[in-house]
Structure 1
Amino acid sequence: MKKAIFTGLLTAFTLFLQAQQKPNVVFILADDMGYGDLGVYGQRLIETPNIDRLAADGMRFTQFYAGTSVCAPSRASLMTGLHTGHSPIRGNYEIKPEGQLPLPDATFTMPEMFKKAGYVTGCFGKWGMGFPGSEGDPIKQGIDQFYGYNCQRQSHNFFPDHLWDNEKRVELNNTATQQNDYAPEMIQQRAMSFMEANQSKPFFMYLSYTLPHAALQLPDGDPSLEYYKKKFNEQPKAVKKEWDGKGYQPQAYPRAAYAAMVSRLDNYVGAVVAKLKKLGLDKNTLIVFTSDNGPHREGGNDPEFFNSSAGFKGIKRQLTEGGIREPMIITWPGKIKRGQVSDHIGAFWDFLPTFSALSGQPGPPQTDGLSILPTLLKKGKQQQHPFLYWEFHEDGGRQAVRMGKWKAIKEQVIRNPNAQVKLYDLNIDPQETNDLSATYPNIAKQAVEIMQREHVEHKDFPFIPKK
């Protein structure tokens, strides 16, 4: 009897060790956080000690880019390994009453790849790539456990009337005037439970936090809000009338509120790292921290006050550096050396091939990405992108290309596909102020050719129809 018990325990322990040979992956995605919003990227007003510590413990990238400059298409690039000229979602296409245009059923996504590699998968936060019950619903795109906002539009309210627990709608005790259940806190607690429940299995956890997106909302008595009110000596702005639940809730202390939301996000990241250590999983867990696009100005936010774009030109919805260049930090104790800074040029579509190489699972048949594992592990030769390409379908349409030190941008391309391209040398002009297209016409022409070639027209997101 004792021998049988011992044999059973030994077998269970062996299976545990085998499972944990595969590294867990925790992918943390901030919402509308600028390149300059973290201390380690130059922020001077907002304190982010936990995320800064991640950078000290791993590798910080200085030239890494989002999928594009707004939420849904940027996240679709992340999930599919395709840039916005090829991906199935290229804009914030809203579905009423709730949700966005879904990822097609045939799409091969990052969570599906992890599931095939034997991982348990969870998403906690915002999805925004398929309305409830659609083919793009997270649980139909490789997610085992989802808790949070299905709809990115509804995530503009941090005190919503409901969230989703897989296919179950969870009613919350919130109205426009009675705010009791703070969604980010509920989402954080479910993420912590997911790690504990799956500590004996390899897991992929996609933490798609909604912080610090507008509206600028926090629970009553939030200590960070009070701290930043005093630190900034911020005087309250007049709120003209009681909020009716439509649009962004007005905030009397927008600067303090934004800073407090970033600090709350930083605290959540610190809690995740602490939980991994408590469970003994930290040494076998790769953590990524980044953001889906540049800083926002909605809801009273003031990105100039915080220098959220770190001196780069532009914010959310623009394809200048401030709209798409993002903080990006990766840690993996014992595998990625501490305190490294990389100027490797990469983008969201690199993550799927990177995780494919990490897990040993074949990636999608088509990808625009390159694995950055050689850069992370300092093993083998790192392939370089000959170019990166983005498009943006609002404000008249924009296209951008990065080729080494060169950055090219076209504006108003929906109305005029032959609009003049502007060309910048980012090595000497990272603020994109001096157009060199007339000086280097051959480089400008090469960029235009890439724009024309890389955009493939999509029936749901018409952009530049071929004549």
Structure 2
Amino acid sequence: MAASMWTFLLVICLVLITVDATPNILFILADDLGYGDMGVYPNPNTTHGRLDTPNLNTLAKQSMMFTDGYAGAPVCAPSRCTLMLGRHTGHCTVRDNGQSLKDDDITIATILNKAGYHTALVGKWGLGSNGTDASPNNKGFEYFYGYTSQENAHDYYPPFLWHNEKQMEISTNKNASAKKCGYPYTTHCVWAEDLMVNATLKYLEEAASSSTQPFYLFHSFTTPHAGGIGSDGETGVPAPYDLPQYKSEWPRVERDFGSVVTMQDQHVGEMLKKLEEVGLDKNTVIFYASDNGAHNEGGHSYKFFESSGPLRGFKRSVHEGGVRSPLLIRWPGVTKPGTVSEQQWGFWDFLQTAAEIAEVPTTSLPDKLDGYSLVPTLKGNNQEQPEYIYHEYCHPNEDHKGWGQGIRFKNWKSVRYNANDTTVELYDLEDDLSETNNLASQHPDVVKMAINYMNTAHVDANFCGH
């Protein structure tokens, strides 16, 4: 009887420890996945059917799903900068691909690491090279496996990947080319995404076996971004094999695009299964999002699957299609499964959200943050909408116009193509989600407010070439 009592008390203690344990944080980031690519998001005009994303659809049912989530920028590196630093693109130090974080930039990985988290990055970094102060290991990540270079990440079959600051050769991929590894010889080379997903699965196993430390794991996919085989060129979306749901009469690049989206979905399913297998699922907060809107590169057309859904524009646009992102957040025991939120949230809000999840005091956070914590919304409480959602991009957008800014405040969305223009476009997203009816001439007071927001949000620190 006494032994049974001790067993009972031990079980109770373990349950209490599990409940009270500091949550792990897993952020899964897709690369160039459009708002309409995930099956649970609206896509009213598709003529080729919805992409097959069963695991993400299931995750959405288990999560709080956001209709008004925003990536940090309409392209890769600036978007990741906002996610790391908690600043929007008007203040972030990386505002274009090919730039690096600055020496004094403090990332969420550094903050969580100092708070006792083990920190890991698997996949694409794109914010600084190894051997510099902007390498992943020098920006807060204790473990890194993947690509440091924005351009090298275009190569789906690279000759090496980085493990921390050491190059790990992939001998099968030496001299990889479309001739050597393309159809029907894709199994002759190794798809980097498989290696990176395996690294994440192994990491989760090891994290479970050393249960003394919570973790922050950032898994940064390179798909469905355009890429190549043995090359940094964006010549297609080279899937390792065909999936039967994508029809043989479709263009190869579109079958490949659909296949890599579904393969990413399968890989996310493997991560979710692994969390459950090793007993981490109940104490891990999962974020899933895309780094910008749908791409239109490598011969792929974003219109083939209507990847932007009901939104205007695509990657590189400051219209909604370039910056609005699918966003799922699952926090077991906190977020109510299957809820849909219209709370507006951008990547620069992740830092403060993650910090509050990890119970990091606000006094330990950097100054001059642009974001806010979404935790009250995740707990089912009402929050005021942020004053505005701001994006900028240093190059022409999909309309082939100049340096662009986009601002959303309440339901208004305004776009300005050149930083010094006194004219802007203005849309009411509540009635015109596709941004087709420019109301600027009818609302001069709102236009004035939009220009004021844009002028205030942008700080010119020689990061943009205008």
TM-score range, shorter chain: 0.7 to 0.9
Q: Counterpart in 1 of 2:124?
A: 126
Deviation at 1:219, TM superposition (A): 5.7
CA contact (8 A) 1:370 1:383 kept: no
Q: In the alignment, what sits opposite 2:151?
A: 153
Partner of 2:408: 402
CA shift, 1:17, in A, is: 3.9
Matched residue, 1:91 = 96
Structure 2 alignment gaps of length 5 or more: 1-5, 44-48, 182-188, 228-235, 397-401
8 A Cα contact 1:105 1:141, kept in partner: no
Q: Report 1:68-79 matches (<5 A).
A: 68-79=73-84
- Equivalent residue for 1:384? 385
Contact 1:411-1:419 within 8 A present in 2 as well: no
Q: Pick from 240, 244, 254 the counterpart of residue 227 of structure 1.
A: 244
Q: Which residue is equivalent to 1:445? A: 448
- Offset of 1:418 from its aligned partner? 2.0
TM-fit CA distance, 1:217: 4.3
Distance 1:33 1:219, change over 3 A: closer
Are the aligned partners of 1:85 and 1:454 in contact in 2 as well (CA < 8 Å)? Answer: yes
Give the structure 2 partner of residue 357 of structure 1: 356
Pick from 195, 205, 218 the counterpart of residue 206 of structure 1.
Answer: 218
Partner of 2:376: 374
Give the superposition deviation at 1:334. 1.5
Give the number of equivalent residue pairs: 421
Aligned to 2:428: 425
1:195 aligned residue (198, 204, 208): 204
5 Å-filtered alignment, 1:234-253, equals 234-235=249-250, 253=252
The one-letter code of the counterpart of 2:307 is S
Taking structure 1 as reference, are residues 203 and 450 closer, same or farther at Cα in structure 2, changes over 3 Å only? same
Q: Which runs of 4+ in 1 moved over 6 A?
A: none
* Cα distance in 2 for residues equivalent to 1:148 and 1:323: 26
Cα offset for 1:383?
Answer: 3.6
What CA deviation, in whole Å up to 9, does each residue of 1:24-75 have, x standing for no partner? 1110000000000011113542110101111100110001111110000011
1:18–1:274 CA distance, 2 compared to 1 (3 A): closer
Query: Where in structure 2 are the equivalents of 1:285-296 lying within 5 Å?
Result: 285-296=284-295
Report the aligned-residue RMSD.
Answer: 2.0
Alpha-carbon offset, residue 378 of structure 1: 1.6
Q: What's the counterpart of residue 185 of structure 2?
A: none
Pick closer, same or farther for the CA change 1:50–1:235 going to 2, 3 Å: closer
* Alignment counterpart, residue 166 of structure 1, candidates 164, 167, 173: 164
Residues 235 and 435 of structure 1: CA distance in aligned 2, closer, same or farther (over 3 Å): closer
Are the equivalent residues in 1 in contact too, given 2:239–2:259 (CA < 8 A)? no
Between the aligned partners of 1:312 and 1:42, the Cα distance in structure 2 is 10
Residue 59 of structure 2: aligned partner = 54
1:117 alignment counterpart: 115
Q: Once the 2 structures are TM-superposed, how far is the Cα of residue 462 of structure 1 from its aligned partner? A: 4.0
Question: Mind listing any 5+ residue stretches in structure 1 that lack a counterpart?
Answer: 1-5, 94-100, 237-252
Equivalents in 1 of 2:437, 2:27: separation in Å?
36
Offset of residue 232 of structure 1: 2.6
Deviation, 1:143, is 0.3
Shift of 1:20: 7.0
Partner of 1:267: 266
Q: How many angstroms does 1:218 deviate by? A: 4.4
- Scaled by the length of structure 2, what TM-score is found? 0.87
Secondary structure in structure 1 of the residue aligned to 2:325: strand
- SS at 1:197's partner residue? helix
Contact 2:237 2:298 in 1 (8 A): no
State whether residues 225 and 237 of structure 2, in contact with CA within 8 Å, keep that contact through their aligned partners in structure 1: no
Measure how far apart 1:438 and its partner are: 0.9
Q: Tell me the amino acid that sits aligned with residue 188 of structure 1.
A: V
Identity of aligned residues (%): 39
